[in-house]
A and B are shown apart, each in its own frame.
Chain A
Amino acid sequence: MLRASLREVSAALKEGHVSPTELCQRCLALIKSTKFLNAYITVVEETALKQAEESEKRYRTGQPLGVLDGIPVAVKDNFSTAGIETTCASEMLKGYIPPYSATVVQKLLDQGAVLLGKTNLDEFAMGSGSTDGVFGPVRNPWSYSRQYKEKLVPKSHPEDEDSNWVITGGSSGGSAAAVSSFTCFAALGSDTGGSTRNPAAHCGVVGLKPTYGLISRHGLIPLVNSMDVPGILTRCVDDAAVVLGSLAGHDPKDSTTVQDSFKPFELPNLTDVSKLSIGIPKEYHAPGLSSEILALWSKAADLFKNAGANVIEVSLPHTRYSIVCYHVLCTAEVASNMARFDGLEYGHRSDMNKSTESMYAATRREGFNDVVRGRILSGNYFLLKQNYENYFVKAQKVRRLIANDFMKVFRSGVDILLTPTTLSDAVPYTEFIKEDNRTRSAQDDILTQAVNMAGLPAISVPTALSERGLPVGLQFIGRSFQEKQLLTVAKWFEKQVKFPMIELEEVKRHDHGVFQHQKSASFS
């Protein structure tokens, strides 16, 4: 039952095969037994059970609120949740309990979803590994899968076993791990440079970054306001469409959401892709792209070609400037956004009380990790009067060029772009931390970041397992506000590749239900 998709479990709830409380309890139990993954920062057992109970009442009276009623979900710990600690995995916000909920959280709750807890991340979502939070790194559930373990070269020292676990990617690693390990049916992440798609790819789940302006950011603690979007992590594309439908639309509290009303949609089963034009951007053949992923990418392209789609190579010439441009724009906004954390109104406050200024300095030194402090410093440097034109304004101009590249390609008739999501499969934690956060982010965001610059929708779809038995995802990029088309194509692809289900001991123990969609042949 826990391994079912959101839509399947929703149907089961409706049929009465399982009750919301039972479902919630099972998820909570699984969260406990997978605690070592460190996917959750906060688990709100009591309120979750209460919400489940409420849902149960509604089902009993035959008045459920919709597909999401009774569905256990998790939310990245950078979304404000009324009455629930919201930390951003930072010392700065430890103990901070927001008095209001983010619009997306409220929408989930209003539709009856059961909020299990808040998921782990890199501090203030700054990172690509989910390794740099104050609560420690998130472990990729696939590290404990039969598929991965079987392929591990047997180590001579059994005590080394613990060093084999791989990272989830990030920064929404907690949410990806939560969905991947079946502790919830959908989770919210955030995506500024790839933070939803990257861990989705590494954890073998679907990660959707909607068009900028489609979903409210109100209550999402910002990283880069002009690029942040709430992300959606689910087991399959259909589920992503369901969650998207429940979250999208204008929010009077977020002036950057579009006014046009949004109509939730169900995804058709595409049978004919021959009218589709799929673009393969050559710049995504980036340095460091593993041959394995390259091979999967061309295989995917062939899949479309063989099904009759028009597959063409396209060029996005400015994409290669995306990362350096992002570095300037991101750090500048970070410097600005982080200015509010001064210890006065909320969050950590240093004991230093010699003067207001010394209190600020100590508070911020104690409250932020090196990554955050480093970005604040660079950002303030770029914003200095003498540097503003040379850095910030230039970066904005380049951003426009990057966005224009996409526009041109789409205007030329391309419907969807197909690219890899990551350069390789997930690396072991011990390997990952050999490089610093900045280097890692620069490398890992390379295939996902440009989309944020342009505000476009993109989705990472689990495609196959690597030789090491770890998930690999491919990315589809669509036109602005054309989520339906994007997800329809992604769903068709998902159906073709038959990505295998993760086989976890813990889950088998907790889930006596049958495999809902046993998968046989896989794509690799």
Chain B
Amino acid sequence: MAAAARGCGGVWCRVWQCGAGGSAPRGQCSVAGSARSAAVPAGKSGLAPWVPVVGLEIHAQISSNSKLFSGSQVQFAAPPNSVVSFFDASLPGTLPVINRRCVEAAVMTGLALNCSINKRSLFDRKHYFYADLPAGYQITQQRVPIAVNGTLSYSLCTDNKMSQMVTKTVRIKQIQLEQDSGKSLHDDTRSQTLVDLNRAGVGLMEVVMEPDMCCGEEAAAAVRELQLILQTLGSSHAVMAEGQLRVDANVSVHHPGEPYGVRTEVKNINSIRFLAKAVDHEIQRQIEELENGGTVLNETRAFDSKLGCTVPMRDKEGKQDYRFMPEPNLPPLILYDTKSLPANMNHQQVVNIDWIHERLPDLPSVKRAKLVEQYGILPEHSFTLLNEDGLTEFFENVVKHTQMKPKKVIGWILNDLLSYLNQHSLTVKESPVSSSILADLLNLLERKEISSTAAKQVLVELWKGEGKTPLEIVKEKKLELIQDQEALEQICQAVIDGQENEVMAIKAGNHKVLNKLIGLVQRRTQGRSNPVLVKQLLEKKLLE
């Protein structure tokens, strides 16, 4: 099933790729894609190609000490029901009191996503019965959310080599503040449901993205960019594995020029990689369903990461009427800007949008541009730097402490450091080699005290994390370059003497063979010779 999905995925994937190359205006990605796709081979039934439409609803848990409407702590993996206030357990007579920090986090996020911030927003109750929703309703912002009409720009590469990036934009419909629910644990063998209310009442920002995306890759890239923004702002830790970022995808397909198809909602996606898979699978499933004469149901489906496909969800709520109602215990949430700020107002009690705006940190896009400009690295490298938590800082520290050009440093960071970390599933913080150690090593290389081959050998030793400095390893392993030119000349001569055929070839004009001799010199010196110098010496001996 998974294989089939992948196989057919190519067909529609090419559809959007056509559009992706151009600078499609926002919101028209799918239309542009479909318009161009007339030239693209159609689905297997020979009909017109399909245009997938993907929208996202993302719940980001707000990073705050206490919950949205109560004073109890927010703590991941605390013992069950250990951080539950009377309000969280919905004891009768308790009332919500809004957490200023959560409001600020939402404003910050709204500003970072180019939203207009509503200076007056409202809270509503959304009703449904569920064991982990003790009040029987969730407090959310259905009518007037805190932020609306924003945009998020994200980039993705159009080929596997990561060399061609395109930037796209998805519109943000709104950001609303709402309460998280508790957790239900179903024990089927004892037919019991255990309820943990630790999470009940934790602040969430629901970010609603318009259906401006058209494949899993785009959805994944958009979410990754959002995740980076949230983490940069500190408004959410946004770790998907810990449930701090939850993504639901709305997916539909239609033929170009026709209205949007019936959409399904895909839930239960717990990593960005799975998001791409889930969306692509769902698009493929719908296409197959429709091409086989079936229909797409407006239903909620769950992504099964083991099977790699989406399955209909046992709908916990059925077709629900949530009976929305204004939350009567919370007055309208009023925000100020510097102009509207009343003079006599206690600053501790108000949220000033301008004040927050002025203090927004550099967002990932700005950081990337700065990296490219400041260090002359490639744009795609700036993406990699930001994608790994702490990698940019690591890179900048190395650059600061070495004479090596940043353009060269980035190669060591991406090819050596990052691949080692990835192989061993380590984070940048867990790297056995610190930025200053790496800088020391690169300095040895830059000062031509060691060859790059030797530098790689040193790095292998450094990964062991035994606390030795690069210089110590160089000394210990005798890896320093032979500085004695006479000795090196002798070695070169010895190699020339032993390779008559090659020497003949070189003299006959085949200069490529020179490299073989250089290699032999390197081998004989165990990598301790400077290849540039060796080349000069050999050329001098053979060609002059």
Contacts and interface: CB of A to CB of B under 8 A. Distances in A.
Interface of A: 79-80, 86, 88, 93, 96, 98-100, 102, 217-222, 224-226, 252-256, 332-333, 335-336, 338-342, 344-346, 356-357, 360, 380, 383-385, 388, 392
A392 B97 CA distance: 25
A332 B325 contact: yes
A266 B125 CA distance: 41
A345 B91 CA distance: 8
Contacts, number: 103
Contact of A100 (B86, B90, B129, B321): B86
B433 interface: no
B318 to A, nearest CB: 10
Contacts of B240: none
B136 A221 contact: no
Given A255-B329, A335-B323, A336-B137, 20 more contacts: A93-B92, A96-B92, A98-B92, A217-B95, A218-B93, A218-B95, A222-B92, A252-B97, A254-B95, A254-B329, A255-B95, A256-B328, A333-B325, A333-B328, A336-B127, A336-B323, A339-B136, A340-B134, A344-B195, A380-B323
Contacts of A357: 129
Contacts of A222: 92-93
B14 to A, nearest CB: 41
* Listed residue (B95, B98, B325) with the most chain A CB atoms within 10 angstroms of its CB: B95
Interface string B311-330: 00000000001011100111
B94 interface: yes
Nearest to B329: A225
A342 B97 contact: no
A356 B328 CA distance: 29
Contacts of A383: 127, 323-325
A98 B91 contact: yes
Main secondary structure of the interface of A (DSSP, over half): loop
B328 A345 contact: no
A410 to B, nearest CB: 22
B95 A345 contact: no
A384 B321 contact: yes
A341 B93 CA distance: 12
Contacts of A335: 127, 323
B331 interface: yes
Contacts of B329: 225, 254-256
A238 to B, nearest CB: 30
A321 B93 CA distance: 29
Interface in B162-221: 193, 195
A333 B195 CA distance: 26
Contacts of A384: 321, 323
A388 B136 contact: no
A339 B93 contact: no
Contacts of B98: 255
B467 to A, nearest CB: 54
A332 B324 CA distance: 10
B321 A339 contact: no
Interface in B271-322: 321
B537 interface: no
Contacts of B137: 336, 339
B325 A221 contact: no
A79 B136 contact: no
Contacts of B136: 336, 338-340, 342
Contacts of A253: 95, 97
Interface string B101-144: 00000000000000000000000010101010011110000000
A79 B93 contact: yes
B195 A100 contact: no
Size range of the chain B interface in the assembly = 20 to 34
Main secondary structure of the interface of B (DSSP, over half): loop
B96 interface: yes
A221 B93 contact: yes
Nearest to A225: B328
Contacts of A342: 129, 134, 136
B321 A385 contact: yes
A225 B321 CA distance: 22
* Listed residue (A88, A98, A102, A344) with the most chain B CB atoms within 10 angstroms of its CB: A344
Contacts of A96: 92
B321 A221 contact: no
Given A98-B91, A339-B129, A345-B91, A255 B134 contact: no
Interface of B: 86, 89-98, 125, 127, 129, 131, 134-137, 193, 195, 321, 323-325, 328-331
Contact of A340 (B90, B95, B97): B90
A253 B94 CA distance: 8
A221 B92 contact: yes
A218 B325 contact: no
Nearest to B129: A360
A168 to B, nearest CB: 24
Contacts of B328: 224-226, 256, 333
B93 A392 contact: no
Contacts of A255: 95-98, 329-331
Contacts of A98: 91-93
A345 B195 CA distance: 10
Closest 9 A/B residue pairs (Cβ):
A339-B136, A383-B323, A225-B328, A226-B328, A221-B92, A219-B93, A340-B90, A80-B93, A340-B135
B92 A256 contact: no
B91 A100 contact: yes
Given A256-B331, A339-B127, A360-B129, A80 B324 contact: no
B93 A340 contact: no
A336 B125 contact: yes
A102 B97 CA distance: 15
* Listed residue (B86, B328, B331) with the most chain A CB atoms within 10 angstroms of its CB: B328
Contacts of B325: 332-333, 336, 383, 392
A255 B69 CA distance: 11
A97 B92 CA distance: 11
23 contacts: A80-B93, A88-B92, A96-B92, A98-B91, A98-B92, A100-B91, A217-B93, A217-B95, A219-B93, A221-B92, A221-B93, A255-B97, A256-B329, A335-B127, A335-B323, A339-B129, A339-B135, A340-B134, A341-B92, A342-B136, A344-B131, A383-B325, A385-B323
A388 B325 CA distance: 9
A332 B323 CA distance: 9
Contacts of B125: 336
B92 A80 contact: yes
A299 B97 CA distance: 47
Contact of A99 (B91, B97, B127, B129): B91
Contacts of B324: 383, 385, 388
B324 to A, nearest CB: 7
Contacts of B93: 79-80, 98, 102, 217-222
A392 to B, nearest CB: 7
Given A255-B95, A340-B136, A345 B323 contact: no
Nearest to B135: A340
* Listed residue (A221, A255, A335, A346) with the most chain B CB atoms within 10 angstroms of its CB: A255
Nearest to B92: A221
A224 B329 CA distance: 10
Given A339-B136, A340-B134, A340-B136, A99 B86 contact: yes
Contacts of B86: 99-100
Contacts of B95: 217-218, 253-256
Nearest to B98: A255
Given A335-B323, A356-B193, A345 B96 contact: no
Contacts of B96: 255
Contacts of A252: 97
A252 B97 CA distance: 8
A80 B86 CA distance: 12
Nearest to B186: A356
A80 B134 CA distance: 18
Contacts of B321: 384-385
B45 to A, nearest CB: 39
Contacts of B323: 335-336, 380, 383-385, 388
